[in-house]
Structure 1
């Protein structure tokens, strides 16, 4: 079983911010951006890889770069960091018009991750329960897709989520403008875990992966 590493509070630059946004002003913040994915979409069309799986892997690879997006609490209620977090993603059942939440272990090798995620999507497309694999591990973060529409804003109203520190991502439908392809991407994260700086850095790194998708064919 994977365990989280406690943070040394005496040397943690974020300690005051964590305490403030966890205890005094508990809140999350959300950012929605239109990401130019023209090169990314073209690379996927030229490959046999699935778009949704590639999007999930790109987000997972970035989340695992940064400790602020892998934050949790120990059993004693102290902040800690997972060494690795795994993506849990929605799988739509068109017959029931419901979704299942499936997860696969993160793998830095895109091809290996892709094969596992494709199998999970196929296995759970007809699922009739929300969690067909049973309770997910604590070190899972959420990715949802709304491929039926684009959007310019998306915000989850989470009740009682003062200790939900892992980020939540929502993907929308591609749009075409002036010969370029854009993807709506919404990021929601607890303010105790990360500030706008950290979220903006992650979004910009996602842009970089989309602009240079050589990893798609790898």
Structure 2
């Protein structure tokens, strides 16, 4: 973890401008071609949710701004950020969070995720670990091919953890598409960084092995 200091005056003004807003998050939704990803996932019989969460977290960890967090009006950069994603439970019809330490190895991540999910099914959790902000909040909306989404969050004080959601897959021009929504704090993440994230996801899908 390291502290980020803006040397460029305009970048500092950009941070201050958006950080002073009551609702500084912005959200972009776009469709991603997951045809190759799904073909490989099915061929190798990989668990869909864990494989997708790992891919989306890999794309985020490749972008420094997605690892930035605001603490006491200062910016720190985590070495890695870790997915905290929704899973069904045995207790009720609403979800539990499942937080899994990110691993560059897909196989290691899947193994760890499955062991934690089993616990969350019978012991659901809605709480983040106190003092931690090295998360990526993720959620699946598999019933809807949505075109936009708005997340519940605290406005005061607002947090700086990105939200990543995906929806129901659908066919288009002989391809399988997935709606993907990304919400981030605008003082840290700008449109260019959002574009890089979507490009990373598409590249990882296109070259999935």
Q: 1:56, CA displacement in angstroms?
A: 0.8
The 8 Å contact of residues 70 and 159 in structure 2, kept in 1 or not, is answered as no
**Aligned pair partner of 2:115 in 104, 119, 143:** 119
CA distance in 2, matches of 1:120, 1:135: 19
**2:62 equivalent to 1:65:** yes
CA distance in 1, matches of 2:102, 2:161: 15
Extract unaligned runs of 5+ from structure 2: none
Matches within 5 A, 1:56-205: 56-74=53-71, 76-93=72-89, 96-131=92-127, 135=130, 137-156=132-151, 158-160=153-155, 163-205=158-200
Residue 19 of structure 2 is matched in structure 1 by: 22
CA distance in 2, matches of 1:175, 1:161: 37
**2:59 equivalent to 1:45:** no
In the superposition, the TM-score normalised over structure 1's length comes to 0.86
The number of aligned residues is 209
The 8 Å contact of residues 142 and 167 in structure 1, kept in 2 or not, is answered as yes
CA distance in 1, matches of 2:136, 2:171: 29
CA distance in 2, matches of 1:159, 1:12: 29
Q: 1:191, CA displacement in angstroms?
A: 0.6
Calculate the aligned-residue CA RMSD, in Å.
2.2
CA distance in 1, matches of 2:194, 2:24: 15
CA distance in 2, matches of 1:15, 1:40: 39
The 8 Å contact of residues 91 and 121 in structure 2, kept in 1 or not, is answered as no
Q: 1:155, CA displacement in angstroms?
A: 2.2
Residue by residue over 1:150-192, the C-alpha shift from the partner in whole angstroms, topping out at 9 and shown as x without a partner, is: 2111122544166422210011111122321111110001110
